[in-house]
Structure 1
Amino acid sequence: MNLAEVSVDVLTGVGESRKKELEGLGIESIADLLSYFPYRYEDYRLTDLITAENEQRVTVRGRVYTQPSVRWYGKSKSRMHIKLDINGVFVSVIWFNQAFLKDKIRSGQTILISGKWDRQRLQITADRTMISEEEQKKLIGQLEPIYSVVSGVKMSWLRKLIHQAFVEYGKYIQENLPAELLSRYKLLPRAKAMYFIHFPKGPAENHQARRRIAYEELFLYQCKLMWLRRIQRTKIEGIAHSFPSEKVEQFIQGLAFPLTGAQKRVVQEILDDMRQPIQMNRLVQGDVGSGKTVVAAIALFANYLSGYQGALMVPTEILADQHTASLQQLLAPFHIRVTSLTSKMAVRKRREALSEIELGLAHIVVGTHALIQEPVVYRNLGLVITDEQHRFGVKQRAALREKGISPDVLFMTATPIPRTLAISAFGEMDVSTIDEMPAGRKPIDTYWVKKEMWSRIIRFIEKECQKGHQAYVICPLIEESEKLDLQNAQEVFEQLTVELAPIRVGLLHGRMNSAEKEEVMNAFAVNDIQVLISTTVVEVGVNVPNATCMVIYDADRFGLAQLHQLRGRVGRGEGASTCILVADPKSEAGIERMRVMTETTDGFEISQRDLELRGPGDFLGVKQSGLPDFKVADISEDGKILEVARNDAAQIVLSEDFVTQEDYRSLYEWLQTEKLESMNFD
């Protein structure tokens, strides 16, 4: 019996109105009901008050020592009080607006209560009371499930309905994991695990049930990713690049600096992919300053040796100009032509660039989204690289890929992604990580200060400029806002122009046109502007080695990843660099972000903390990458389970005998019914 096809109204007590109420919870079938898991539990194990923490929820059983006394506030609000003897320890118990209990509680009775513990006052604020000895015995030691409900659906009724469904249909719950995995990890059978999620006998059963369901969710999702990868590998024939290894090695040896061990490892992974007759689909992530650009240059060089064109798409024109300049410098000795293509180009230059690209005279093309527009025709595109890939939509990335015939695809990001999130949100890709910084890269000293120290910050900026260095001052708004009390770029620009005179101050923000932005950035790059007041437009790509000071105003309003990206604009030259976070945070989350930023400069550690603070749903907008809402699994907490599930899925689904082996038949049939196109991948 397929429980997904059995309507929930077959259960006693579910009429038309109840059915509609359940539909409001997303429950339409028996399968929906059985998998409508609680989001937390009330713990009714008896608490030892000696070890209980202040404000902890506790459950205690004791003898009523004093008769209840009630004080009324107005006509409807009340406060009831007793003394309770708990094994010789006397505590106060209070109830708010539950005066009806006065006639039920008597001195000398043994009662069970749950509520918040005030350790200083030796007082419990009760929210649940059991007077009947029979009810107490039923509740003591239990973990009571708490569900999300809507108006009209009572928690107690929903619990009874779920229990009825298990009694009548639990025997039809089908196992969906291979027997070998159940045995290897000593996992509960699916039916028993689902029952214990709803009705655990105690913490041990709940833990084992949660462990089983979390593994199941992560394993099945990873199976979908691996099946998608298998389909891609069989359907999409790629370019088997052929290039002499010794020439690539000569290029690497000719660089002005040695590659780090991490760079060497990632380069080898990319080159191995390029040699395969399967389309490369790889994500390279590395912290700010870890050397992703040179890795891209090596891949583009190998692609050129194979006789193909390469394209590098970046999110901003500033970044396009910088990449073009750096690639020209690296590749000029080999007579490799690097052509730039952006929307700002004059008509004549753009026409020349388009002609060079179509004729194959442009070996490497660097540009913004202009690379994917209709007039751009490539002669033989063999490698596509997208920098800061999360800033482009799925369709934009796919459009560049479709400019060639199954070119190899490389995505790069300087926003480190926690491994657990990377293998979930980007599971159909291979992921390479540059987790080592080049030698000589100096750490950036980071300080969190209150706004009252603004005058001292200005003096610090002044001293840095007197040394010949430059500074950024980042503000969250362009102009004054009546709704938000945030420092704005225009106001700070006007203020610092006066206070720092004769130091030259510039202003940069997103409302400027391309020519204005370029003029300001060029002036800053050559030190004609010493202090740049800017919005987050400088977050990615701006490279001014002489800048040693980064001031971020209202820093608590920025996310951790954005703060780390902004900080990465300094520390790029020889001078010691400083980042100053100016903030008076009003929330715990804001305070925690400031703490994290001052404790570490490791982008991967910051990204992990960011994931823990925000959760996967908000991290980098990963919902757009197809990441599902797991009912039980939490990828920020279940990292070890995820790693194991991914390895198991890869071993099974990518094996040659997956389609034919009897043990995997049900898993194979399930994958045939899944809509992989809904997973939003390129």
Structure 2
Amino acid sequence: MIRGDSDAEARRRRPPARPAPRLTLDTPVTYLKGVGPARATSLAKLGITLAGDLLRHVPHRYEDATTVTPIAQAAVGADVTVLGRVIAKGVLPTRKGLRVFQAVIQDASGMLEIAWPGQPFLDRTINKDDWLLCTGPVRFFHGRRLQPREFVNLGPEEEGTGEGRVLAVYPSTEGLSVRLLRAMVQQHLDALLPLVQEPLPAWLIDAADVPPLPDALRMVHRPTSVAEAMRGRSRLAFEELLCVQLLHRKANQVAREDRGGRAFANKRDLTSKLRAALPYTLTHAQVRAIREIVHDMESPRRMHRLLQGDVGAGKTVVAVFSALLAMENGAQVALMAPTELLAEQHARSVANLLAPLGIAPVLLTGRLGAKEKRAALARLAGDGPVLAIGTHALLQSDVAFANLGLVIIDEQHRFGVEQRAILGSKGVAPDVLLMSATPIPRSLALTLYGDLDVSVLDERPPGRQPVTTVVRSESTRTKVFEFANAQLDAGRQVYVVYPLIETSEKIDLKAATVMYEALVAGALAGRRVALLHGRLPSDERDVIMRNFRDGALDVLVATTVIEVGIDVGNATVMIIEHPERFGLSQLHQLRGRVGRGAEQSYCILLGDVGAEAAERLGMFAATEDGFEIARADLQLRGMGDLFGAKQHGLPAFRIADPLRDEALNETARTLADRVLRDDPDLEQPLYAGLRQQLTVGYAKALEYFRVG
């Protein structure tokens, strides 16, 4: 038998190929044309395993090729979008050792040099004859040069340049370029869109003023303009925000109604005495927060409230009013802080506040001697109201409260859920007040902490002088330290902060350890200077901070280990080197270490920074509003896991941004309340699609809805 006959016989014996399943949104991507095993593996890394996942893989930005500037008209100083074919490329070194990838692109009108400093790896992904769409400023550097802010490699096919279109730029991964993903989506979009059903009731779509889901998906994947793409995105963002708001609102409802607590009576005995004894007037924000807390504590439902406020906003005195309300009713209170220094600071400040009332708090930390600890434990185990202030020592098994009615946790993000639960378990359903010094815009706080009620302190107490903040260049270093020495001569104290502990070969930055030696031998010679960073043993750090607090040190050279620290009222100067290396919120926390006394204080941002960083730091220097700074910082850096979202059970947002989508988030919150009032468990057929979305996307959180 000849070979051809053998092949024909083998084909006859082979079982017929299995027909591809009917296309649905649940069809595995391996059945889509052009997706083999290798591409399916790469798609899985992006969370794309089903055909419907491809529709939900939304572009993270768009390039507008509808307004391309001819290269000949790209003038120096202009910000343009140009489109051209790569005719030359290469990597050039500079005298400073920086390697710059350069490409020359050409269109029908002329040529233009494109440069990517510090990105030599692009030489492996950008090839000659590729078409590049580049957006950025044109500058003069031995001729015209554009340094792209954004760019898209459209590949070598001229008909694929996309000129005149809005180009979607998708999150990609190894083995799947943006160009390939875009082609894959476009290839299957027309077949998949008719399969999409709107899960939300029509009244919700109308109330939110967003397009139906099929239209929205077409808008995000095949937009006619960037504005249309953003409108489509708003529909997908709204769905995410609505689902999260529903889960949080339901969780809050269940927490408040199913977990009974105790109802305290507002006797206005100790609280009125404290208010009369205060040497200052409470701010409107403090009064509002106290009123909200009192309302919670009077309710038979267990309080679960977050008190968040800016640096120096007066959270401690609000917490003390809360404690006194519980103590008026014969209950005990536990205030837990993350460090011994912070616990000791709270104990001192609270003792001063309560001295006119004849009340002394009990301090419980790991530093207590055996006799002191026995006395503290005896007070907690005995009858009568008491305010205990401590660290993790409060969690120890030998710490027993006779009648714990209120738990207050400072810097709550520093404690895990289990630790907070242990303290709460030492009483019978005590009310819980969490405190945070990280200012978050209220709308974002209500989303991130949706299972809590939120009180916000957004005013500074009267009498606190604003901190003078300035940006100074490296050339003024001598004058800056002359000013610091003048403050030291006047009896004040100084912080000097660096972003690194030790020098690095990869980053050209001053480091705390090296600069400590240089300052002691130079600008701060003769001063009592100490070095503080996170690699020191905790006991050694505590000793240094206590010495600085007590005035035994003049200057503290440190890293951000002091970001959330103790109050040193005598410290009036904060010098921050390489300020561009810090986030705005981090700078704000560092600045909050000064200005805590009666003297005028100063924050000096020292270093040579680029134009973009200078603008950012200038904005920081112009305001002390931590909420405004947090908003700007989040817009610049993104949320990340900054606020411990995972710890609070918040599902990650793929499309929505509660800060950028603030108005949409407010709408989602309002409509979520309406939905739950209409159908608390989403049992009506009207909400079947919404319930399905929650089941698919937020299965772990559905315990709030008691769904098995």
TM-score class normalised by the smaller sequence: 0.7 to 0.9
- Aligned equivalent of 1:442, options 451, 465, 468: 465
Structure 2 SS opposite 1:415: coil
CA distance in structure 2 between the aligned counterparts of 1:20 and 1:524, rounded to whole angstroms: 57
Q: Is the 8 A contact 1:337 1:361 kept in 2?
A: no
Residues 367 and 590 (structure 1 numbering): CA distance in 2 closer, same or farther, change over 3 Å?
farther
Residues 366 and 200 (structure 1 numbering): CA distance in 2 closer, same or farther, change over 3 Å?
same
Aligned to 1:20: 41
Q: How does 1:498-647 map to 2 (within 5 A)?
A: 500=524, 503-510=527-534, 517=541, 519-585=543-609, 591=614, 594-620=617-643, 622-647=645-670
Q: CA deviation at 1:293?
A: 0.6
What does the per-residue CA deviation read over 1:187-219, in whole Å, with 9 as the maximum and x for residues that have no partner? 211122112211223345323211211211211
Q: Is the 8 A contact 1:214 1:633 kept in 2?
A: yes
Identity of aligned residues (%): 37
* Matching of residue 291 in structure 1 with residue 308 in structure 2: no
Letter in 1 for 2:169: I
* Matching of residue 329 in structure 1 with residue 337 in structure 2: no
Letter in 2 for 1:172: L
CA distance in structure 1 between the aligned counterparts of 2:606 and 2:360, rounded to whole angstroms: 45
Letter in 2 for 1:25: L
Q: Is the 8 A contact 2:331 2:384 kept in 1?
A: no
Task: Pick which of 407-416 and 295-304 moved more.
Answer: 407-416
Aligned to 2:263: 240
Residues 82 and 153 (structure 1 numbering): CA distance in 2 closer, same or farther, change over 3 Å?
closer
Aligned to 2:217: 194
- Aligned equivalent of 1:319, options 332, 335, 342: 342
Q: CA deviation at 1:496?
A: 3.3
* Matching of residue 343 in structure 1 with residue 366 in structure 2: yes
Structure 1 SS opposite 2:66: coil
* Matching of residue 412 in structure 1 with residue 414 in structure 2: no
Structure 1 SS opposite 2:308: strand
Aligned to 1:649: 672
CA distance in structure 2 between the aligned counterparts of 1:163 and 1:529, rounded to whole angstroms: 66
Aligned to 2:63: 42
Q: Is the 8 A contact 2:283 2:459 kept in 1?
A: yes
Residues 527 and 349 (structure 1 numbering): CA distance in 2 closer, same or farther, change over 3 Å?
same
CA distance in structure 2 between the aligned counterparts of 1:316 and 1:94, rounded to whole angstroms: 56
Aligned to 2:94: none
Q: Is the 8 A contact 2:579 2:606 kept in 1?
A: yes
Unpaired runs of at least 5, structure 1? 61-67, 85-90, 102-111
Residues 236 and 129 (structure 1 numbering): CA distance in 2 closer, same or farther, change over 3 Å?
closer
What does the per-residue CA deviation read over 1:121-146, in whole Å, with 9 as the maximum and x for residues that have no partner? 789999769999xx69x955422323
* Matching of residue 354 in structure 1 with residue 370 in structure 2: no
Q: CA deviation at 1:260?
A: 0.5
Letter in 2 for 1:553: E
Q: CA deviation at 1:432?
A: 1.2
Q: Is the 8 A contact 1:114 1:129 kept in 2?
A: no
Q: Is the 8 A contact 2:40 2:49 kept in 1?
A: yes
Aligned to 1:54: 78
Residues 202 and 454 (structure 1 numbering): CA distance in 2 closer, same or farther, change over 3 Å?
closer
Residues 373 and 486 (structure 1 numbering): CA distance in 2 closer, same or farther, change over 3 Å?
farther
CA distance in structure 2 between the aligned counterparts of 1:286 and 1:594, rounded to whole angstroms: 22
Letter in 2 for 1:32: D
Q: Is the 8 A contact 1:225 1:428 kept in 2?
A: yes
Aligned to 2:29: 8
Structure 1 SS opposite 2:325: helix
CA distance in structure 2 between the aligned counterparts of 1:220 and 1:606, rounded to whole angstroms: 28
What does the per-residue CA deviation read over 1:156-193, in whole Å, with 9 as the maximum and x for residues that have no partner? 66445435644444333232223212122332111221
CA distance in structure 2 between the aligned counterparts of 1:4 and 1:318, rounded to whole angstroms: 57
Q: How does 1:389-408 map to 2 (within 5 A)?
A: 389-408=412-431
Q: Is the 8 A contact 1:80 1:99 kept in 2?
A: no
Task: Pick which of 40-49 and 642-651 moved more.
Answer: 40-49
Q: Is the 8 A contact 2:408 2:432 kept in 1?
A: yes
Q: Is the 8 A contact 1:284 1:411 kept in 2?
A: yes
Aligned to 2:233: 210
- Aligned equivalent of 1:307, options 330, 339, 363: 330
- Aligned equivalent of 1:265, options 276, 288, 293: 288
Letter in 2 for 1:303: A
Alignment TM-score, normalising by the size of structure 2: 0.81
CA distance in structure 2 between the aligned counterparts of 1:73 and 1:527, rounded to whole angstroms: 59
Aligned to 2:3: none
Residues 140 and 315 (structure 1 numbering): CA distance in 2 closer, same or farther, change over 3 Å?
same
Aligned to 1:107: none
CA distance in structure 2 between the aligned counterparts of 1:578 and 1:114, rounded to whole angstroms: 46
Q: Is the 8 A contact 1:493 1:505 kept in 2?
A: no
Structure 2 SS opposite 1:257: coil
Aligned to 2:96: none
CA distance in structure 1 between the aligned counterparts of 2:132 and 2:683, rounded to whole angstroms: 58
Residues 666 and 234 (structure 1 numbering): CA distance in 2 closer, same or farther, change over 3 Å?
farther
Tell me how many residue pairs correspond in the alignment: 651
Residues 519 and 203 (structure 1 numbering): CA distance in 2 closer, same or farther, change over 3 Å?
closer
Q: Is the 8 A contact 2:266 2:325 kept in 1?
A: yes
CA distance in structure 2 between the aligned counterparts of 1:554 and 1:200, rounded to whole angstroms: 42
Q: Is the 8 A contact 1:471 1:549 kept in 2?
A: yes
CA distance in structure 2 between the aligned counterparts of 1:518 and 1:29, rounded to whole angstroms: 54
What does the per-residue CA deviation read over 1:405-429, in whole Å, with 9 as the maximum and x for residues that have no partner? 2211111111212334322221221
Unpaired runs of at least 5, structure 2? 1-21, 92-101, 115-122
Structure 1 SS opposite 2:454: strand
Aligned to 1:88: none
Q: CA deviation at 1:606?
A: 1.4
Q: CA deviation at 1:381?
A: 1.5
Letter in 1 for 2:639: P
Q: Is the 8 A contact 2:68 2:163 kept in 1?
A: no
Letter in 1 for 2:478: S
Q: CA deviation at 1:15?
A: 4.5
CA distance in structure 1 between the aligned counterparts of 2:225 and 2:83, rounded to whole angstroms: 15
* Matching of residue 667 in structure 1 with residue 690 in structure 2: yes
Residues 322 and 568 (structure 1 numbering): CA distance in 2 closer, same or farther, change over 3 Å?
same
Structure 2 SS opposite 1:344: coil
CA distance in structure 2 between the aligned counterparts of 1:648 and 1:69, rounded to whole angstroms: 51
Q: CA deviation at 1:433?
A: 0.9
Aligned to 2:245: 222
Residues 592 and 220 (structure 1 numbering): CA distance in 2 closer, same or farther, change over 3 Å?
same
- Aligned equivalent of 1:278, options 297, 301, 304: 301
Q: Is the 8 A contact 2:25 2:195 kept in 1?
A: no
CA distance in structure 2 between the aligned counterparts of 1:552 and 1:122, rounded to whole angstroms: 37
CA distance in structure 1 between the aligned counterparts of 2:566 and 2:689, rounded to whole angstroms: 52
What does the per-residue CA deviation read over 1:96-130, in whole Å, with 9 as the maximum and x for residues that have no partner? 998879xxxxxxxxxx9965685877899997699
Q: Is the 8 A contact 1:652 1:658 kept in 2?
A: no
Residues 368 and 113 (structure 1 numbering): CA distance in 2 closer, same or farther, change over 3 Å?
closer
Aligned CA RMSD, in angstroms, stands at 4.0
Q: How does 1:348-387 map to 2 (within 5 A)?
A: 348-360=371-383, 363-387=386-410
